[in-house]
Amino acid sequence: MSRETRPELQRFLEAYPDTRHFDVFLNDLNTVERGKRLDLAGIETAYRSGMLLPGSMFALDVLGHTVEATGLGFDDGDADRPCRPIPGTLVPVPWQGAHAAQVQVTMHEPDGRAFYGDPRHVLADVLQRTLALGLTPVVAIEYEFYFVDLERVDSGLPQPPRGPLTGRREYRTQINAMADLNEYSAVLAQISRDCHAQGVPATSALPEYGPGQYEVNLQHQSDALAACDQALRFKRIVKSVARAQGLDATFLPKPYRDMAGSGLHIHLSLLDGDGRNVFTCDDPATHVPLRHAVGGLLDSMADGMAICAPGPNSYRRFRSEAYVPLTPSWSINNRGSAVRIPVSDSANRRIEYRQAGADANPCLVLAWMLAGIHHGLTARVEPPPPLRGNAYAQPAGEPLPTHWATAIERFAGSAFAREYLGERFQRLFSTVKRAELADFSSYVTPLECAWYLGPL
């Protein structure tokens, strides 16, 4: 074991002596958990020399098929690479009982170098560029998600679950309704307890617009990598607890055509070497560092659409007056814009990035956000004036690419993506997404038959 991780495993086994198995996993490009279940001997080996997984873990489409065009399948011999535990992620798994634990890992090359396809390493590289400016990001992540019924309707689409207290299916929308919060208080309370057990700093929960839709906020912190580790643990907690309570939970951005979508919003400020917030100001519209950071985010936003909206359902969120950005715009306290400066006192001034859907990989979204801010600060990019009033009723620059194929090609050809995320990762992500798009587009749907089969 390394000097860094040996004490962590020893301390954990002393605190949880009944532990018998360990779920060891990483999250792929689509945040699907991939890994193994190890016994005590296996976890000791993982801490000592790593757990082997093939590099093709990051060449998998959302169905788990290896995209051979990435070169990480047969061309690479489906070669194994060591995956090493991330310090601070060894935690109990309450929903599996007293014998279970889990730990997150990152993939490396056999010589110890970071594996280029692992999104956590991509984030670490971009983060290092921010730190090199003498700036430390403080990050808070918000997730929106739906509870849905385990049983689908005849067409295979989801439906709202029966309320645990009333037994009724709700189809209404009631933002911040306390009755809805009470309806799911038991499952939300269990999620909160399991978050505490796994070191996930969930601070608040609120009912969103859709039936069974909730938002949970994670506490801000100055370790950007840990913030994303916790966000990925949070998704696992929500899905596992919901299933244990007879529900499903989904981070699909748009499970219902006529209901609100689910987003992944990131709040971010920057601390200088003395621990002061460089965005501190009374007027965000005139504060130079904040303006340049916003300018960089807007300048890079269209190129990163495929990162923030990685699947076909992602683009169903992007509708007028749906609290989802359609243009690279910014505002002060206006949820219709892509970048919002929330209400706060001057010392707690921050940026909220509202482009991403709940299906996006938080490591990649945060990497893209930090890249945009780095670009804005170093190139002194000036943003347009902040939006006022209805963001959907005024021009605010070139529309964002809100079609999956367009977004993929925009990312694939982006010089910005190549500079900040690396050419190999850019090619890997684009290749996987092109393959998903081709496969998805080959299916004939009931809707197109209903619309076109008869008239044509």
- What is the reported pLDDT for 113? 97
332 located within any domain: yes
Q: Residue 311 falls within a domain, yes or no?
A: yes
Same-domain status, 219 and 317: yes
Based on the domain organization, do 99 and 156 belong to the same domain?
A: no
What is the percentage of the chain residues whose pLDDT exceeds 90? 85
Largest CA distance in the chain: 70
Please tell me the predicted confidence (pLDDT) of residue 397: 75
Q: What is the pLDDT of residues 63-102, one digit of tens each?
A: 999 999 999 999 999 999 999 999 999 999 999 999 999 9
For the cut 90, the answer to whether the pLDDT of residue 38 exceeds it is: yes
Q: Which domain holds residue 13?
A: 6-112
- The answer to whether residue 348 is domain-embedded is yes
Task: Return the bridge partners of 207, or none.
Answer: 214
Amino acid (1-letter code) at residue 136: T
Residues 391 and 437 in one domain: yes
Would residue 355 count as lying in a domain? yes
- Mean pLDDT of all residues in 151-155: 90
Same structural domain, 315 and 244 = yes
Write the burial class of residue 343 (CB in 10 Å: 0-12 exposed, 13-18 middle, 19+ buried).
exposed
Residues 148 and 181 in one domain: yes
pLDDT at 454: 80
* pLDDT tens per residue across span 172-190: 776 666 767 788 889 999 9
pLDDT digits (tens, 9 = 90+) for 219-273: 999 999 999 999 999 999 999 999 999 999 999 999 999 999 999 999 999 999 9
Same domain, 243 and 357: yes
Residue 116 has what pLDDT? 98
133 with 108, same domain: the answer is: no
Final residue of a domain: which of 81, 112, 143? 112
Q: Who has greater pLDDT, 155 or 15?
A: 15
Instruction: Evaluate if residue 412 carries a pLDDT over 60.
Output: yes
- 159 to 16, 104, 146, 183, 248: CA distances (angstroms): 39, 32, 10, 17, 10
CA 147 to chain centre: 18
Report the CATH number that the domain containing residue 75 is assigned in CATH.
3.10.20.70
Structural domain contains residue 456 = no
- pLDDT value at position 180? 75
**Window from 147-156, 219-228, 391-400 with minimum mean pLDDT:** 391-400
CA atoms within 13 A on the CB side of 433: 28
Per-residue confidence (pLDDT) for residue 393, from 0 to 100: 86
Mean local confidence (pLDDT), 302-308: 98
Burial class (CB in 10 A: 0-12, 13-18, 19+), 46: buried
Phi-psi region of 66 (alpha: psi -120 to 50; beta: other; left: phi over 0): beta
Residue 133 maps to a domain = yes
Instruction: Specify whether 134 is located in the same domain as 99.
Output: no
Among residues 232, 181, 263, which one has the least CA distance to residue 23? 232
Burial of 362 (0-12, 13-18, 19+ CB in 10 A): buried
Q: How is residue 108 annotated by DSSP? A: B
Residues 106 and 132 in one domain: no
361 and 396 assigned to the same domain: yes
Give the model's pLDDT for residue 59. 98
Contact 417, 411 (CB under 8 A): yes
pLDDT digits (tens, 9 = 90+) for 321-365: 888 999 999 999 999 999 999 999 999 999 999 999 999 999 999
Q: What is the mean pLDDT of residues 393-418?
A: 93
Q: Are 401 and 309 in contact (CB under 8 A)?
A: no
Average pLDDT, the chain: 94
Q: Tokens for 431, please give them.
A: 């290749």
- Per-residue pLDDT, averaged over 54-65, amounts to 97
Same domain, 89 and 178: no
User: What crossing angle do the helices spanning 224-244 and 119-131 adopt, rounded to 10°?
Assistant: 150
pLDDT value for 2:
47
CATH code assigned at 156: 3.30.590.10
Same domain as 77, residue 169: no
Instruction: Tell me, yes or no, whether 277 lies in a domain.
Output: yes
**452, part of any domain:** no
Q: What percent of the chain has pLDDT over 70?
A: 97
Residue 1's pLDDT is 44
Q: How many domains does the chain have?
A: 2
**Positive or negative CA dihedral for 174, 175, 179, 183?**
positive
Q: What angle do CA 188, 192, 197 make, to 5 degrees?
A: 145
